[in-house]
Structure 1
Amino acid sequence: MVAHNAYIARRLQLLGEWDAALAVLAPDDEPELRAEIAVDRWFFRIEGHEEAEKAVAAVDPASPTAHLLTGRLAYSRLLFRREPRADDRAVAEAGYRAAIESGDEKTRAWAEYHWAVLLDNIDEDPAGALPLYESALGVATKSGDGYFESYIIRHLAPHKEPAERLAMLRRSLNLRAALGARPQAIAAQALLADNLPDNDPERAELMRMVRPGVEELHIGWLLSEE
């Protein structure tokens, strides 16, 4: 039953039904999955930070998952400017370094990706970020993990020339749509629209399509762009 509930929770998470996904899990079951979903919900909605932090605290603190999620929470407070703490920058990097040292290949690659995003978005250090993106992308493509690839190329795209940038953004969107990852697909549609010329009809069409999903899932950082 626990495995069955975990499967249902994962499917609901993919749809952006984070509250329902958490409700499926018993309080003491699958602490790592519960923490991942709670952090995911915080990242998209910018709501429920306290619950996310409590969920991460319930995970074995020595585990790669705990290191990675602790880093992500610290990074998110900096990114969203939601009560950032003085040590958030250091905590984020330390979490990613620890996950790289203690995790399997895929976990290490996810930690490299998140560390690259920290360097890129917070430090504005693309020279430091790009090798980490490329390393993570190698693992994603080797393993055939389209979901992971969609995240990496979304962040690599802004560093490319316009034609390649749009191609990468379209691929990220298509990978997410094919996997049924609804909040990620909506975010990819919004970013693609933002990178198209103002007078491009596709831009206007994407913006019209995105709005209902943004409002339904309450994707906080897209709602704030209204």
Structure 2
Amino acid sequence: MLADDTYVARRLFLLGEWDAALAVLGPDGDPELRAEIAVDRWFFRIEDHDEAEKAVAALDPSLWTAQLLTARLAYSRLMFQRDPRPDDRAVAEASYRAAATSGDELQRGWAVYHWGVLLDNIDEDSAGAVARYEEAFEIATKYGDDFLESYIIRHLAHLKAPAEGTAMLRRSLHLRAALGARPQTIAAQAVLADDLPEHDPERAELIRTYRPGAEELRIGWLKPTG
């Protein structure tokens, strides 16, 4: 039964049904999965930060998952300016660095990617970010991790020439849709819509499509595109 509950929780997690996923998992479920879901819910909804932090604190700090999620919490407080702490920048980089050395190679790819996002969005260090995105991209393609690739190329897109960047955004959207990752697909639709010319019919269709889903999932940082 526990294995079945974990499977169902993972499927609900992928759909952005965070509350239901946590309920199915229950208090005795996989603590790493619980922490992942709680942090993801906080990141998309900008709600229940304390519960996310508590779930991460319950993990063995030497675990790759604990290191990555600790970094993501610190990064997100800075990014969204939600009660950022004086040491958040240092904690984020130190934890990403630790995660990049404590897991397997694919896990390293995720850690290096997130480290690149920190450099990109917080430090505005494009050169440093690109180096890490490219390293993570090599790992993602080596292991066929389409989900990781979808994240990397979505961030690389804004550093490329317009036509190439738009093509990357479309591929990111298609990869996420194929995987059934609903919150990420909605976010990809919004980003692509914002990238397209104002009077492009595809832009209007993307906006019409993503807005109801964003409202249903209560994605807190996804501002409507006019």
The corresponding residue for 1:72 is 72
CA distance in 1, matches of 2:42, 2:82: 11
The corresponding residue for 2:140 is 140
CA distance in 2, matches of 1:156, 1:94: 23
The corresponding residue for 1:104 is 104
The alpha carbon displacement at 1:4 in A equals 1.4
1:1-226 matches, cutoff 5 A: 1-223=1-223
The alpha carbon displacement at 1:108 in A equals 1.0
CA distance in 1, matches of 2:171, 2:132: 20
Is the Cα–Cα contact under 8 Å of residues 93 and 115 in structure 1 kept in the other structure?
yes
CA distance in 2, matches of 1:223, 1:46: 13
CA distance in 1, matches of 2:224, 2:181: 22
TM-score, scaled relative to structure 2: 0.98
CA distance in 2, matches of 1:58, 1:211: 35
Q: Which amino acid aligns with 2:98?
A: A
CA distance in 2, matches of 1:49, 1:37: 12
- CA RMSD, aligned part only? 1.1
The alpha carbon displacement at 1:29 in A equals 2.0
The alpha carbon displacement at 1:28 in A equals 2.6
Is the Cα–Cα contact under 8 Å of residues 215 and 223 in structure 1 kept in the other structure?
no
CA distance in 2, matches of 1:125, 1:6: 39
Q: Which runs of 4+ in 1 moved over 4 A?
A: 223-226
- Please list every run of 5 or more consecutive structure 1 residues that lacks an aligned counterpart in the other structure: none
The alpha carbon displacement at 1:107 in A equals 1.2
Is the Cα–Cα contact under 8 Å of residues 96 and 111 in structure 2 kept in the other structure?
yes
CA distance in 2, matches of 1:189, 1:154: 11
CA distance in 2, matches of 1:192, 1:41: 23
CA distance in 1, matches of 2:174, 2:90: 35
List per-residue Cα deviations over 1:148-181 (Å, max 9, x = no partner).
1101110011011111101100000000001111
Is the Cα–Cα contact under 8 Å of residues 214 and 223 in structure 1 kept in the other structure?
no
SS state of the match for residue 29, structure 1? coil
- Please list every run of 5 or more consecutive structure 2 residues that lacks an aligned counterpart in the other structure: none
The alpha carbon displacement at 1:68 in A equals 0.5
The alpha carbon displacement at 1:49 in A equals 0.4
CA distance in 2, matches of 1:29, 1:225: 39
Is the Cα–Cα contact under 8 Å of residues 207 and 225 in structure 2 kept in the other structure?
no
Q: Which amino acid aligns with 2:79?
A: L
Q: Which amino acid aligns with 1:110?
A: W
Is the Cα–Cα contact under 8 Å of residues 70 and 95 in structure 1 kept in the other structure?
yes
CA distance in 2, matches of 1:2, 1:131: 41
List per-residue Cα deviations over 1:85-108 (Å, max 9, x = no partner).
000000000100111121111111
TM-score, scaled relative to structure 1: 0.98
CA distance in 2, matches of 1:106, 1:66: 16
CA distance in 1, matches of 2:88, 2:225: 25
Is the Cα–Cα contact under 8 Å of residues 100 and 107 in structure 1 kept in the other structure?
yes
